């Protein structure tokens, strides 16, 4: 396949997959969650767990399955390590992964404070994820959150970093991480511009590091290491 053909495939994958997932997330948060909340009376955050897990992140896993099956990789022994690049982490991988968490956290905090200084305070969670800090009588919500969180991280990392990023690298070479980060930003449009700006460090830094190290477990480490503790801190009223 020529370079132009590679880029055509890369552009199609980026726009089709990231764009479709973004529309699905927007529809889920703007239409499905309010509908379920209205007819069931469930808390918005529980509605988010259900809708995002089953309506967004599970379909991401299905998308990865169909792409890999079409490529002929599904069922092959090298699927996990060679194609999806989930390889054992070495010291360099841990260094880049843990270091990225620190850098991303500082940059995101700086962006958040900058936005607050210029535009005033804003919610640290999008409307469809807002909830009161959990007291002893509601701590059980964390039990519901755990399977959602696992599906969130694995769904995104298997599709985005494991399946899509290598395709984009073949198409765009050393610029693939930027194309990938931009696609990942498109996926998060439902979060609103202010939160999206604070997400820019993870969107681009994680994409660059995973591409540079060619190890998708780093994406799981960074994504899960930031997403999980952040939610728990918010749930316990620490943020």
**Radius of gyration in angstroms for the set of CA atoms belonging to the chain, rounded to a whole number:** 18
CA angle 104, 107, 108 (to 5 degrees): 80
Question: How many other CB atoms sit within 10 Å of the CB of residue 62?
Answer: 11
Q: Give pLDDT tens digits for 155-208.
A: 999 999 999 999 999 999 999 999 999 999 999 999 999 999 999 999 999 999
Q: Which whole-number Å values give the CA distances from 2 to 168, 173, 174, 177, 179, in the listed order?
A: 14, 13, 17, 20, 19
Q: Tell me the C-alpha distance between 74 and 79, whole Å.
A: 7
The answer to whether residues 149 and 231 touch, using CB atoms and an 8 Å cutoff, is yes
Q: Give pLDDT tens digits for 99-154.
A: 999 999 999 999 999 999 998 888 778 889 888 888 888 899 999 999 999 999 99
How confident is residue 8, by pLDDT bands cut at 50, 70 and 90? Answer: low
- Is residue 4's pLDDT more than 60? no
- Cα 224 to the chain's mean position, in Å? 9
């Amino acid at each position: 396949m020529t370079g132009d053909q590679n880029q055509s495939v890369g552009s199609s994958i980026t726009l089709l997959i990231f764009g479709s997932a973004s529309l699905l997330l927007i529809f889920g948060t703007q239409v499905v969650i309010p509908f379920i909340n209205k007819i069931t009376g469930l808390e918005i955050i529980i509605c988010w767990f259900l809708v995002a897990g089953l309506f967004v992140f599970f379909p991401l896993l299905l998308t990865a399955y169909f792409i890999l099956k079409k490529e002929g990789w599904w069922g092959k022994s090298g699927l996990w390590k060679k194609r999806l690049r989930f390889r054992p982490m070495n010291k360099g991988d841990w260094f880049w992964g843990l270091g990225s968490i620190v850098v991303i956290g500082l940059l995101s905090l700086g962006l958040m404070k900058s936005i607050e200084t210029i535009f005033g305070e804003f919610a640290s969670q999008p409307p469809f994820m807002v909830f009161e800090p959990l007291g002893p009588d509601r701590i059980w919500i964390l039990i519901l959150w755990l399977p959602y969180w696992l599906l969130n991280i694995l769904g995104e990392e298997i599709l985005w970093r494991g399946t899509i990023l290598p395709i984009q690298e073949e198409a765009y070479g050393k610029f693939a991480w930027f194309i990938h980060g931009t696609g990942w930003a498109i996926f998060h449009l439902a979060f609103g511009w202010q939160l999206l700006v604070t997400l820019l460090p993870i969107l681009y830094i994680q994409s660059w590091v995973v591409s540079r190290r060619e190890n998708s477990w780093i994406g799981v480490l960074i994504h899960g290491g930031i997403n999980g503790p952040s939610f728990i801190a918010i749930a316990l009223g620490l943020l």
